[in-house]
Amino acid sequence: MNTTANTILITGGTSGIGLAFAEAFLKEGNKVIITGRREDKLKEIKEKLPQIITKTSDVTDAAQRAELFNWINENHTDTNILINNAGVQFITDLKKGIDTDKLKTEVDTNLIAPIHLASLFIPHLKSKPNAAIINITSGLAFVPIAMMAVYCATKAAMHSLTLSLRYQLKDTDIKVFAIAPPAVDTELGHDRREDKTQSHGGIPVNEFIAGAMAAIKNDEYDAAIGMAAGLRAKRETLFEQINSGFPG
Ligand SMILES: NC(=O)c1ccc[n+]([C@@H]2O[C@H](COP(=O)([O-])OP(=O)(O)OC[C@H]3O[C@@H](n4cnc5c(N)ncnc54)[C@H](OP(=O)(O)O)[C@@H]3O)[C@@H](O)[C@H]2O)c1
């Protein structure tokens, strides 16, 4: 698809993959709108990239999702691409009892929000040229790391959801992408690391973005980037292997 002259809403654009997508799309001559909960981060990014449009919004809150859509509809009606990117990743040990608030946050952020936002935006996107919904899933949608059980389940669900969404929209011009990143060095999971500057060993974010942008340009609707492609190819056969390196 054409990756210039679009108006693109990216949820979770205050760091990592969302921010790197925003920078890449700005460079290619698009209007870019980013959201996030951290106002200080949004302000900092706006100072660095004055052409970016920012909006404080928490995707876990249904009322804020509706408000975000209404705000776009009123102020940036030319929006033709929705990137469902905001995500969180927690460790879940089902043997130890579940913190239901944390469970709800993870499922609301990674699964409920993108489903709700997609359904809110479909009527709007139907009339737009070069329209797309791009869901950021994960290589872990194909092979879970058991200690991140809920995270991986939300990503597997988002992969499935994206296939259904694409089918439901087959008679429209809205393109539907599932982009599955491999491990990428971002703030994801930072809250569980004492040293916040510590990397989790993923590839540099710009390397991921180069692969993801190429996939979007080439209409690769199910794009598994880097190592994620290997996970998709082997799936369950890799389950034992990947989990042997982590506590159960
Ligand atoms: N990094 C990886 O290895 C990797 C691998 C596969 C898939 N992914 C996926 O890539 C996406 C981006 O993650 P990342 O790696 O770039 O992590 P990140 O650096 O932690 O960025 C996550 C983004 O999501 C936003 N966010 C989180 N909760 C939110 C909420 N309730 N409302 C609005 N925004 C919220 C954060 O903004 P605020 O904190 O300001 O709200 C931040 O901008 C996620 O869907 C993640 O699952 C990442």
Point out the catalytic residue in the list 21, 25, 142, 151: 151
Query: Each residue of 51-77: pLDDT tens digit?
Result: 999 999 999 999 999 999 999 999 999
Contacts of 203 (CB under 8 A, 6+ apart): 182, 183, 184, 185, 226, 227
Q: What domains lie within the chain, and their CATH numbers? A: 7-243 (3.40.50.720)
Query: Each residue of 216-245: pLDDT tens digit?
Result: 999 999 999 999 998 988 887 777 888 888
Burial (0-12, 13-18, 19+ Cβ within 10 Å), 224: buried
User: What is the mean pLDDT of the segment spanning 162-181?
Assistant: 98
User: What is the mean pLDDT of the segment spanning 143-163?
Assistant: 97
Residue nearest to atom 20 of ligand 1 (CA): 188
User: What is the mean pLDDT of the segment spanning 136-165?
Assistant: 97
Q: Clarify whether 221 is annotated catalytic.
A: no
Of the given ranges (61-65, 132-136, 201-205), which has the lowest mean pLDDT?
201-205
Report the alpha-carbon distance of residue 34 to residue 219 in Å, rounded: 23
pLDDT at 194 > cutoff 80:
no
Report the alpha-carbon distance of residue 206 to residue 21 in Å, rounded: 9
Report the alpha-carbon distance of residue 184 to residue 181 in Å, rounded: 7
Q: Which residues of 77-104 are buried (b: 16+ CB within 10 A; e: fewer)?
A: eebbbbbbbbbbbbebeeeeeeeeeeee
Residue with tokens 């709800």: 104
Distance 187 CA to ligand 1 centre (A): 7
Measured from the CA of 42, which atom of ligand 1 is nearest? 40
pLDDT of 200 reads 67
Q: What CA–CA distances, in Å, run from 121 to 37, 71, 114, 126, 211?
A: 20, 12, 10, 9, 26
Whether the CB-CB separation of 109 and 60 falls below 8 Å is answered with yes
pLDDT at 150 > cutoff 90:
yes
CB-defined site of ligand 1, < 6 Å: 11-18, 35-38, 41, 58-60, 85-89, 109, 136, 138, 181, 183-184, 186-188, 202
pLDDT at 22 > cutoff 90:
yes
Q: Which two tokens stand for residue 74?
A: 């009123």
